[in-house]
């Protein structure tokens, strides 16, 4: 299903970036602000968002789990398929906006630039999992690697525990993808939280023509 299908009246926004970059905080702030200004919005996350997705998330993030990179991708896409079917698409059809903490760009960055799967392989599998649904707009938060590492601190899920070289490839992947992909913007997250939030609000509202709520 194409994202510009007439049955979809809600707007779908993904907030992306490497762990420690502030994406989860900004996704919450954006969703809350839109709701406060009369634009009904739900906030969700990946992997997760549904019962099946959250159970898969537990496996995917388990630092003790060892699995092939293709198996990792397929678990993520299984969670995404259920997420789109059960939560995202129904909301969009009802005219409700959806803010998602991670979506397709995470797979391209982590399993592509990070794990070494090809972009074509990931994109093809992702289109099947999502039935062709893509965000109308994607915000990518970027920070210097040393700041991201300091924010992660002692946390260590399966991805954070892969080390600096792995995380650096992912960060560079996000920057590359943000330049190449349509309706995607790279934002410097190295600023006070409220300043970053205001920047995101301005860009999102300008993109969708929501000028009256800015």
pLDDT digits (tens, 9 = 90+) for 143-173: 887 777 776 665 566 676 677 888 899 999 9
Do residues 174 and 142 make contact, with C-beta atoms less than 8 angstroms apart?
yes
- 147 within domain boundaries: yes
Q: What is the pLDDT of residue 4?
A: 43
Q: Is the pLDDT of residue 1 over 50?
A: no
199: left (phi over 0), alpha (psi -120 to 50) or beta: alpha
Q: What is the pLDDT of residue 186?
A: 96
Q: Is the pLDDT of residue 26 over 60?
A: yes
DSSP state of 203: H
Do residues 143 and 20 make contact, with C-beta atoms less than 8 angstroms apart?
yes
pLDDT in tens, 112-143: 999 999 999 999 999 999 999 999 999 999 98
- 43 within domain boundaries: yes
When pLDDT is averaged across residues 15-25 and rounded to a whole number, the result is 90
When pLDDT is averaged across residues 78-94 and rounded to a whole number, the result is 98
60: left (phi over 0), alpha (psi -120 to 50) or beta: alpha
User: Closest Cα to residue 186, out of 156, 196, 195, 194?
Assistant: 196
- 6 within domain boundaries: no
- 45 within domain boundaries: yes
How far is Cα 123 from Cα 147, in angstroms, rounded to an integer?
30
- 90 within domain boundaries: yes
Q: CATH number of the domain that 92 lies in?
A: 3.40.50.300
How far is Cα 137 from Cα 31, in angstroms, rounded to an integer?
14
State the residue range of the domain holding 27.
12-207
2: confidence class by pLDDT, cuts 50, 70, 90 = very low
The total domain count for the chain is: 1
């Amino acid at each position: 299903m194409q994202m510009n299908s007439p049955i979809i009246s809600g707007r779908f926004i993904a907030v992306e970036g490497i762990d420690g970059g502030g994406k989860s905080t900004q996704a919450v702030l954006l969703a809350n602000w839109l709701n406060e200004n009369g634009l009904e919005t739900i906030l969700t996350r990946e992997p997760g968002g549904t019962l099946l997705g959250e159970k898969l998330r537990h496996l995917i993030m388990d630092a003790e789990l060892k699995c092939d990179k293709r198996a990792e991708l397929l678990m993520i896409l299984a969670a995404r398929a259920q997420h789109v079917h059960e939560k995202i698409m129904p909301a969009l059809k009802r005219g409700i906006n959806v803010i998602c903490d991670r979506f397709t760009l995470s797979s391209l960055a982590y399993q592509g630039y990070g794990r070494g799967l090809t972009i074509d392989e990931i994109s093809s599998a992702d289109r099947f999992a999502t039935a062709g649904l893509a965000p109308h707009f994607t915000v990518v938060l970027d920070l210097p690697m040393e700041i991201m590492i300091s924010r992660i601190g002692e946390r260590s899920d399966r991805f954070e525990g892969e080390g600096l070289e792995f995380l650096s490839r992912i960060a560079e992947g996000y920057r590359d993808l943000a330049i190449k992909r349509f309706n995607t913007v790279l934002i410097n997250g190295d600023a006070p939280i409220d300043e970053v939030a205001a920047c995101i609000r301005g860009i999102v509202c300008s993109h969708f023509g929501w000028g009256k709520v800015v």
